[in-house]
Structure 1
């Protein structure tokens, strides 16, 4: 059966903590990752926590990109969910790794939604 979507769980470790606590920087970075991946943005929301950390989501016509950061640990959890194989998720991951100065990373792809026929 054909999967309805693809969910990517990305772990970014040993990132520059200054980037991870800057909501405006992260919003622009996710917008860039969305655009460069070939996805289509339709909305976004970002929130900066006190004393630190950011959560944000960019809604795309193909689903969503989200990020949650823990600057005190140099860690970012990123989710990309898309119903389109034409979205270049590897390009988006590369943009985030480079711009957050991640020293290590990993990702898992999960195929989602196998409707019964």
Structure 2
């Protein structure tokens, strides 16, 4: 992978499938989980905001970082969560992904990795096995 300059950041788009619905309904728990992921990645948390759509319903929220953000939308009725982890600088989004994945225990997931801010994108890297998560170097 050759670029004229270092990417501005790494953006992970994740679809988690087969999650216990009980793990996807409490906004305070999801907030704490995403904050733990941000801390593991070496990111600095600025603010978070989460919204619950009601008892046993989904949650949507974002943790705003100095290095960008982590967001999530959950559908407990499908055992599904969509997450977005975008980090710049020295923060390592793959480490946030590991923390989130270990807590949610999905049966499967799809990750799209996008290098942001490069003049010529290399493309998407899709990983579909939880065990394939590799920390950034």
When normalised by structure 1's length, the TM-score is 0.90
For residues 40 and 54 of structure 2, the distance between their equivalents in structure 1, rounded to whole angstroms, comes to: 31
For residues 89 and 82 of structure 1, the distance between their equivalents in structure 2, rounded to whole angstroms, comes to: 6
Larger relative contact order (Cα-Cα within 8 Å, sequence gap ≥ 6): 1
Q: CA deviation at 1:108?
A: 1.0
Unaligned runs of 5+ in 2: 120-137
For residues 42 and 113 of structure 2, the distance between their equivalents in structure 1, rounded to whole angstroms, comes to: 18
- The Cα offsets for residues 61-98 of structure 1, whole Å up to 9 and x where unpaired, read as 000011110000101100011122x2222221111111
2:75 to 67, 70, 76: 70
Residue-pair matches, total: 114
On the 8 A contact 2:10/2:93 being kept in 1, the answer is no
Q: CA deviation at 1:11?
A: 1.2
2:123 matched to 1:101? no
Alignment of structure 1 residues 22-33 onto 2, 5 Å: 22-33=26-37
For residues 26 and 63 of structure 1, the distance between their equivalents in structure 2, rounded to whole angstroms, comes to: 18
2:117 is aligned to 113
- Secondary structure at the residue paired with 2:29? helix
For residues 94 and 82 of structure 1, the distance between their equivalents in structure 2, rounded to whole angstroms, comes to: 15
Q: CA deviation at 1:60?
A: 0.5
Unaligned runs of 5+ in 1: none
Q: CA deviation at 1:54?
A: 0.4
RMSD between superposed Cα atoms in Å: 1.4
On the 8 A contact 2:42/2:92 being kept in 1, the answer is yes
